[in-house]
Chains A and B, each alone.
Chain A
Amino acid sequence: MIKATKSPRVRIVLYEGLGADPLDGDSRYRIMRALLERGLTVTCTGPQPADDMTPGTLASVEESVLLVIGRFEGGQPPQVEDAAGRVTLHLLHLTDTDDQAVVQQIDQTLGELDVAVNQPGQWKPWFPVIDYSRCTNCMQCLSFCLFGVYGVDADNKIQVQNNDNCKTDCPACSRVCPEVAIMFPKYSQGPINGDQIREDDLKREAMKVDISSLLGGDIYAQLKQRSSAAKERFAKERDEKRALSERIRCLNKLAGQMDIPKEVLLNLPSQDEIRQRAADAAAKGRAALEAGD
């Protein structure tokens, strides 16, 4: 869940130029590290004179709250404002150079400014990233994803439209992509994590698609087939325990084959909903492909 999408962007500038005391390298490192671990975006000016400074790219972004922190001379930050009025500028004198004290002081200031910032550990940015240099717009991912993550733009080009719908740690759609064009940068292994694609990867992906086709085309078909088979057995034998163990066995197999977290499989919508969603997604994909012809 992305929390701070609507609040103003915050940029921190650790300022050590004219009118501020420079920090020693170790204090600078500890402060920078603590601020980054807190989830903040920071420009470090270093102790160079202002006219010899490599300009920060992020610090100059518009429509943001810019919090300039430093050990200002006399313990008082100077009064400054953005002449163009594009950036809300705040200055904060650091009373202590201890990293945790700095984070606490910044948290307090952001609280006073009513600015929310996402925090590492509370959420994992997990969503597919399409490598358009490989993507052939085949719509397999759109047809496959049960959660409506994919869509098409005005030109019927596949795109990731609903990041938040993606199930954390589930890379299944990347495994059905015949071109190995879907990445999850936070995934542990290549090529899904963005690592270089090797010949073996292409062969393996091709094999996966073939296996998938042999098994009935897609995961919905597999689920449906296995579920029907289980239902049939259940009807014949009226053995609830056996049906349940079959379901668990199937889910475990799918989880292993496609590295889908068990929680995702166990929280799938009802069979009717799955059928409906699969039909909708496939229709969307077909329509996009037809429009592109």
Chain B
Amino acid sequence: MPHDERSTRSADASPNARPLRVLYCRCAYADVVPEDVKDRVLQRLCESGRAFDTVADLCEMSARHDPALNRIAECGGVKIAACYKRAVHGLFEAAGAPLSTDDVHVLNMRTDDADTIADNLLNDGEVDT
């Protein structure tokens, strides 16, 4: 089955709709994101059984201009659990991979509640291609 016809698509979604991917940043190189929030969000993702991408630290990847950031930016349609939206967009731009503002959603683990973030990530939000 082609990925744009997955069963996760809601019944009233347009034929070209696709679910948003999930990207989780562990912020492993610093202690600025509360450990319990990072853990709880990751735990909820793992328990859900759905597929998702993770990175150890978006700052570290941005510093290295990791081409994976380009890939994420090009694909769009992603929910990113990380930190402040302005910082995340800046990190991608600094790596030469500016994010679209239309179909990229940044969830802030520095300020928001873990279960609220996890609920948002696991809700089948969709974006029209």
Give the B-binding residues of A (Cβ under 8 A).
Answer: 2, 4-5, 9, 11, 25-26, 28-29, 32-33, 36-48, 51-64, 118, 120-121, 123-125, 127, 129-132, 160, 163, 183, 185-188, 190, 193-196
Contacts and interface: CB of A to CB of B under 8 A. Distances in A.
Given A33-B42, A54-B19, A62-B67, A120 B28 contact: yes
Interface of B: 1, 3, 6-8, 19, 21-23, 26, 28-30, 32, 39, 42-43, 45-64, 66-68, 71-72, 75, 78, 83-88, 90-91, 93-94, 110-111
Contacts of A11: 68
Nearest to A28: B46
Q: Lowest 7 A-B CB distances belong to which pairs?
A: A194-B87, A194-B84, A29-B46, A125-B59, A25-B47, A36-B26, A129-B90
A11 B43 CA distance: 21
22 contacts: A11-B68, A29-B43, A37-B56, A38-B56, A42-B53, A42-B54, A44-B51, A44-B53, A46-B49, A52-B7, A53-B51, A61-B68, A129-B93, A131-B86, A163-B63, A183-B90, A185-B59, A185-B90, A185-B91, A186-B30, A195-B86, A196-B86
A52 B6 contact: yes
A64 B29 CA distance: 22
A41 B28 CA distance: 11
A9 B93 CA distance: 20
A174 to B, nearest CB: 12
Nearest to A22: B49
A44 B86 contact: no
Contacts of B30: 124-125, 186
B49 A54 contact: no
A39 B91 CA distance: 18
Given A29-B42, A36-B26, A56-B21, 14 more contacts: A9-B66, A32-B54, A44-B54, A47-B49, A52-B7, A54-B8, A56-B51, A57-B72, A59-B53, A118-B60, A124-B30, A131-B86, A186-B30, A195-B86
Contacts of A41: 53-56, 61, 68
Contact of B29 (A43, A63, A120, A195): A120
Contact of A61 (B8, B49, B67, B87): B67
A207 B75 CA distance: 42
B49 A58 contact: no
Nearest to A195: B84
A54 B45 contact: no
Contacts of A186: 29-30, 32, 59
A277 B71 CA distance: 38
Contact of B54 (A2, A43, A53, A194): A43
B53 A58 contact: yes
Contacts of B59: 125, 127, 185-186
Given A61-B67, A160-B94, A194-B87, A125 B57 contact: yes
A64 to B, nearest CB: 8
Contacts of A53: 51
Given A58-B68, A194-B86, A29 B56 contact: no
Nearest to B98: A132
A46 B64 contact: no
B99 to A, nearest CB: 12
B71 A61 contact: yes
A60 B21 CA distance: 14
A40 B28 CA distance: 10
